[in-house]
Chains A and B, each alone.
Chain A
């Protein structure tokens, strides 16, 4: 379980460019829940993810993993708990290393620095099994350089890597947004499969309302650094994209029109 209490993040504090990115986020995600996060550009989706991961320091509030307070812990101290897949397929893997070396890095997430061999036949067996699930033939390309793989292939491997070790939470940051529609659908399928099978706790940021409703068991929407609605259970089950848009219009205080283009990208 992870929870955020009264979480605030301010960029460039005290400068003319000061920006309130998160303004009091209260959120609890129980074990094995799959939460989708939507919101327009600049709503604070990525900031929230990066704050949970420890890349960004919160200015106020608390982050708890279970009952451990990790608010002050730097990113490197949280890696044993957090698995991530980034939007950029190039960001989640090392292009200069081989597929198996990349996977070995993820395999050792949170327990590094030993002078024992980075790879062994046991690991290779595990990697081959995992890769064969993708049906991309990558199980025969363990020694290929990651840089030679396509964006979709790299993102698939990133996804497998994120699930090689148990995590408190898996953070998916628009991980299909940079892919073509067909590959995106494939990756999303694999994502659902892995999450269901391993009973992972997940936060997935997406631009697509369709995707947000089709996957997971709970959807939250951020606007200007706040959660403006939080849907789950039966209420969410009957929802369509247009219902979300209505909800958003109601929730807004200033009556500003929702920019469909921003929100519906890839819907």
Chain B
């Protein structure tokens, strides 16, 4: 793997780290399987790209993309809470609607940002760093800052209340927590993070495309699971940052699969190789624990 490719992999992994944190918030914290992210990733990208092309300030455009995606999360929450539509179904409805909305926002299936200013432009050439380092550092700062903020949030009274809602609604309610408000807030936060990831992806890769959100949920979930299987901890900081690490590892697996052609694999084997590598990442901690248990048993005997 070349240095450029390695740094590029980190860059994309870090961006999808924000997706993983969003997915962690819904699936794990709120116990609300939310597939909206496939649409909100694209929505964040679409809104941001369209505004940038219109000449809006890049930071404002990114903020707008994030907020738009957060609103998509609110729609899913609303369908579920107001009309009792099953959470999974509510999120699929929003995701499906977003496909059309994204096309409408962009006015066409693909908005190009090559040659447009992006959020990276103000940082280009800073400290004399080559572009490829600057990009990684920029997205690392975004992802880690986002992660720390979310971890901090989950440790506040409000965040703890949100975790209680996902764990035991009745108990939460009995302790004065307004359950619905927490679900709205959680889905907005989750989809906002995913939309931010979409906005960053569009700007670092030069385009927003109507198909770019496909499979976001799978990648996000894989990252969450990889991260959590490697780091068993109760600390919110460790858990949230492990989502980012999981995402980077997932991308490294893809990268290794891309570089596996010398083993006789072809391009179409990519998904299988990625799946095998991810499976290995999941199996390893279990095997390690079993081995440790065996060692301990042997010592006792």
Contact = CB atoms under 8 A, between A and B. Distances in A.
A110 B176 contact: yes
A118 B161 CA distance: 9
B167 A117 contact: no
Contacts of A82: 174
Interface stretch (B51-59, B151-159, B188-196): B151-159
B156 A94 contact: no
B298 interface: no
Interface residues of B, number: 23
Interface string B133-163: 0000000000000000000010111111101
A31 interface: no
Contacts of A109: 175-176
Given A76-B176, A94-B164, A145-B234, A114 B170 contact: no
Interface in A71-97: 75-76, 79-80, 82, 84, 86, 90-97
Nearest to B176: A79
A96 B175 CA distance: 16
A94 B168 contact: yes
A98 B160 contact: no
Contacts of B174: 53, 75, 79, 82, 84, 86, 92
Chain A's interface: helix, strand, loop or mixed, by majority?
Answer: loop
Interface residues of A, number: 35
B171 A92 contact: yes
B107 to A, nearest CB: 39
B207 to A, nearest CB: 37
A112 B176 CA distance: 7
Contacts of B167: 94-97
A84 B160 CA distance: 19
Contacts of A117: 155-157
B234 A76 contact: no
Given A94-B164, A97-B163, A115 B170 contact: no
A100 B234 CA distance: 13
A114 B160 CA distance: 10
Given A86-B170, A93-B171, A104 B176 contact: no
Contacts of A105: 160-161, 164, 171-172, 175, 177
A163 to B, nearest CB: 13
Contacts of A97: 160, 163-164, 167
5 contacts: A80-B176, A101-B163, A105-B177, A112-B176, A117-B156
Interface of A: 53, 75-76, 79-80, 82, 84, 86, 90-98, 101, 104-106, 108-119, 143, 145
Given A92-B174, A94-B167, A97-B164, 12 more contacts: A53-B174, A80-B176, A94-B172, A108-B157, A112-B158, A112-B175, A113-B157, A114-B156, A117-B156, A117-B157, A119-B155, A119-B160
